[in-house]
Amino acid sequence: MKQWYKRIVMVILLLGLTTSVMAQDVIVLAGLDETIASLQAQNWWGEEKHGEQLTVPRTMIAGISKQWRDNAPTLPVSTKKEIFYRFMLPLVVHANAMVVDRRERLQRLADTIKAGDKLTIDDDTWLREIAVVLRITDRDQIKQVTDTDALTKVIDQALYKLDVIPAGLVLGQAAYVRHLAVCRGGERTFRTVDIRRGGTDSRAAAQATGRSPHCQLPVAF
């Protein structure tokens, strides 16, 4: 699947794909100012314009340096929140593009079998690997599958399991998991909740549930 992507390491590291997934430009951003400037240059920072179609840049975050993690607690929560979503969404778009690519290949294999043709060695090997990865069957059992009806059932199950997930759902889950990690004492590189808004009641509730006293309850994004 040929796409045009960049990978961004924070410092920050960005990965940029030029002609294919294997041809990537790596961009190192030293600190917050360079990070925001890079996002602005891609028209991927600032107030959202709801009347305009959102164009997600082909830029993916690849790594974050320890220095960024050390300095993150001093940054405004609103800034970290925006950076979090600006870096997450391109990953979601890329993942969904990969899903579409694999679904199209699965459908091509189904059409090949339906036409009475034999799968190529590469396609057959790929299909059996997909069956294992998606936990349709294990590696030993899939080796025993030889008839076309059984392979067609594998494809049907793969198409059922492998599907695009709405970006909003992924972002919401990512923010929720991020918050839970903080509440359980994890690192706070992209904490998306301003704990300073939590009063004594929320701190007591957090302590009562075994969570960090810095967590605000209920969760607010």
pLDDT tens-digit map of 138-171: 999 999 998 999 999 999 999 999 999 998 898 8
The DSSP call for residue 117 is P
Q: How many CA atoms lie within 13 A of 153 on its CB side?
A: 9
The DSSP call for residue 219 is -
Check if the beta carbon of residue 153 is closer than 8 Å to that of residue 141: no
**Separation CA 101–CA 120 (nearest Å):** 18
Q: Is residue 153 part of a domain?
A: yes
- Phi, psi at 16, each rounded to 5°: -120, 120
The one-digit pLDDT tens for each residue of the chain (221 residues) are 444 445 555 444 555 544 444 456 777 777 788 888 888 888 888 777 666 767 888 877 877 777 777 777 788 888 888 888 888 888 898 899 999 999 999 999 999 999 999 999 999 999 999 999 999 999 999 999 989 999 999 999 999 999 999 988 988 888 877 666 555 555 555 554 444 444 434 444 444 445 444 454 333 33
Q: Is residue 66 part of a domain?
A: yes
Q: Is residue 204 part of a domain?
A: yes
* Co-location of 145 and 173 in the same domain: no
Q: Is residue 82 part of a domain?
A: no
* Co-location of 172 and 198 in the same domain: yes
Q: Is residue 201 part of a domain?
A: yes
Nearest to 217 by CA among 167, 165, 187, 182: 182
* Co-location of 176 and 144 in the same domain: no
* Co-location of 99 and 152 in the same domain: yes
Check if the beta carbon of residue 35 is closer than 8 Å to that of residue 28: no
Q: Is residue 89 part of a domain?
A: no
Residue where a domain terminates, one of 144, 161, 178: 161
The SS3 call for residue 28 is: strand
pLDDT at 103: 97
**Separation CA 83–CA 89 (nearest Å):** 10
* Co-location of 126 and 183 in the same domain: no
* Co-location of 35 and 69 in the same domain: yes
Can you give the residue range of the structural domain that contains 42? 6-74
Structure-derived torsion over alpha carbons of residues 18, 53, 48, 215, reported in degrees to the nearest 10: -70
* Co-location of 175 and 150 in the same domain: no
Q: Is residue 17 part of a domain?
A: yes
**Separation CA 38–CA 11 (nearest Å):** 13
* Co-location of 110 and 144 in the same domain: yes
Structural domains of the chain, count: 3
Q: How far is CA 6 from the centre of its chain?
A: 15
